[in-house]
Structure 1
Amino acid sequence: MNTDKKPTIAVLGTGLIGAPVALNLHKQGFKVHAWNRTAAKAKALVVDGVQAFDTPANAVQGADIIVTVLTDSESVQGVMQEAAPALKQGAIWVQLSTVGIEGIGTLAALAERHGLVFYDAPVQGTRQPAELAQLIILASGPVEQRAVVQPVFDAIGKRTLWVSEQIGGSSRLKLALNNWAFALTHGLAESIAIAKGLGIDPALVVDVVTGGPMDSGYFQAKAAAILAENYTASFSIANAVKDAQLVVDAAAQAGLQVGVAQASLRRFERVQEAGHGDKDMAASYLA
């Protein structure tokens, strides 16, 4: 890898998280290639200085680091297989998507077959933290190349937690954290629904919690969305269904009884079945 200048980075997937990731990398002086299945999403970044490409193979051509920010393990695997003919031997692959335990194992094996240095690095945070370069990166992977990937993480996040040298540790931690986020979302949504159903102004729930030990930025953001009936997606119901299923599957493999996680999944599924899959997961309230 050329050490005289910043590495070239290919960002595969420029959706709600991937687009700001690409832009923040460019702002920090990296040369950024971008690709997205919906080409217009990648091309929209060109005005800001990112180079858009029409295929994954073209995007990774000459890239020292590949960053995948896609929906699930199947999507990531498919795109990386499309990119395979142009991958540089010894390039670094930073995998930001939430793919679960089996998924991360499949992708690590794919990286090994293509001679890539692989980092399991799912992120904590949704659209707004991504836009503000305030993501928390949960990173696992070999010590040897951490000095190369750390500036990448610094460009897109406010904190990097190195979980393990072993691939998969970060993906396991991400499932536990997602379960907590889902529990908070459902608890808030149901509490507001209960207040309204009992004839109490639901804004009073927020008023009482504000400034107390149960308050948080997350609580305030999701409460504001529910009260305003504004479900513009930061993290969609469809993605929540996918990730909640990964939590339930992982717990089953570990022999854990997770009634709250199972109820969380079913609630998201009900909202999706009602036609709200593209809305923010605060639309749990609509259940």
Structure 2
Amino acid sequence: MKAYLGTGLLGCNFVKAMIKKGDDVHVWNRTSSKAQALEKFGAKAYNNVADAVNGADIIHITLKDDATVDEVLEKAESGLNAGTIIIDHTTTSAAGAIERTKSWKEKGYTYLHAPVFMGPPNALDSSGYMLVSGDQDVIKYVEPQLAKMTGKVINFGPEEGKAASMKLIGNLFLITLTAGISDTLALAKASGISSADVSVLFDSWNPAAMMPARLKKIAQGDFKQPSWELGMMRKDAGLMMNAAKAGDMPLHVLPVITDLMDKWIQKGHAGDDWSVIATDSITK
């Protein structure tokens, strides 16, 4: 039997998928009505978290943050079976994941942090990506169970907390991507271009294809053979900001980036590849 703690949008669909695969699932949620709503799909809901985990071999968790995970697990502890495996899909700090792995091992339980790049639809159809790191024997043991939940399990090796860090790195990229899209649409609006026309551009031209090569170039730190000179990039950025200002549309990301460009131009790097602005991110 499995228990699932935290039945929000993601957890709810994980539970539904587990039940479809034949699992017996006990559920708990701080807002009890969300757990009770899963009973019609075959789950058994509990108001007390210790009751929910009682008898479970594996407990899955999807909660808010480190503090919530610690609080809920503390309340659940009295109901845990000896040797219960706790698999936490919450996005947390690396330090928190490391400490929980250690402290629960000392108590006689296995804790594995397994954050995901999965939305609710992925949880329901078992697609997307799940990240793990740490004790490789533990991962080998639980991986067949995790593989049922996701399209791909990515193992980052024996370092505790590394999966948590990789999750945050991925989320940072998603945040900056969305912020960049916001500025892109603001410039389009200022220029009288519809979002539909912007979609036509990106349906044909996929800048994501440049990501692996750009990442490799930045990581190598060789900016002396430019594909786009920093000085020319700064010129283009000025045109963008002037157009946005003329259309009375604020840009939030680009002004910060242009300040960084100006810093590196003042250092004499105008003729280097514009990705020289990432130097501080790859050097100590």
What TM-score do the two structures reach when normalised by structure 2? 0.70
Give the structure 1 partner of residue 125 of structure 2.
132
Give the structure 1 partner of residue 80 of structure 2.
87
Matched, 1:176 2:174: no
Give the structure 2 partner of residue 207 of structure 1.
200
Task: Tell me which of 20, 23, 28 is aligned to 1:27.
Answer: 20
How is 1:1-287 mapped onto 2 (pairs within 5 angstroms)? 8-214=1-207
Q: Which runs of 5+ in 1 are unaligned?
A: 1-7, 217-259, 264-287
Q: d(CA) in 2 for partners of 1:190 and 1:125?
A: 25
Q: How many residues align?
A: 212
Q: d(CA) in 1 for partners of 2:135 and 2:102?
A: 15
Give the structure 1 partner of residue 271 of structure 2.
none
How far does residue 116 in structure 1 lie from its aligned partner after superposition?
1.0
Q: Which runs of 5+ in 2 are unaligned?
A: 210-252, 257-284
Q: Residue 173 of structure 2: SS of its match in structure 1?
A: helix
Q: Any conservation in 1 of the 2:35–2:45 contact (CA below 8 Å)?
A: yes
Q: d(CA) in 2 for partners of 1:211 and 1:32?
A: 45
Q: d(CA) in 1 for partners of 2:190 and 2:208?
A: 23
Q: Which structure has the greater CA radius of gyration?
A: 2
How far does residue 155 in structure 1 lie from its aligned partner after superposition?
2.3
Give the structure 2 partner of residue 252 of structure 1.
none
Q: d(CA) in 2 for partners of 1:59 and 1:142?
A: 27
CA deviations on 1:140-180 (whole Å, 9 max, x unpaired) are 23233334422321222100011122321100111111111
Q: Structure 1 residues 211 and 130, CA, compared in 2 at 3 Å: closer, same or farther?
A: farther
Aligned sequence identity (%) = 30
CA deviations on 1:24-77 (whole Å, 9 max, x unpaired) are 112112211110000011111111111111111011100001111001010000
**Root-mean-square deviation (CA), in Å?**
2.0
Q: d(CA) in 1 for partners of 2:45 and 2:187?
A: 48
Instruction: Report runs of 4+ in structure 1 exceeding 6 Å deviation.
Output: none
Letter in 2 for 1:190: D
How far does residue 117 in structure 1 lie from its aligned partner after superposition?
1.2
Q: Residue 10 of structure 1: SS of its match in structure 2?
A: strand
Q: Any conservation in 2 of the 1:89–1:114 contact (CA below 8 Å)?
A: no
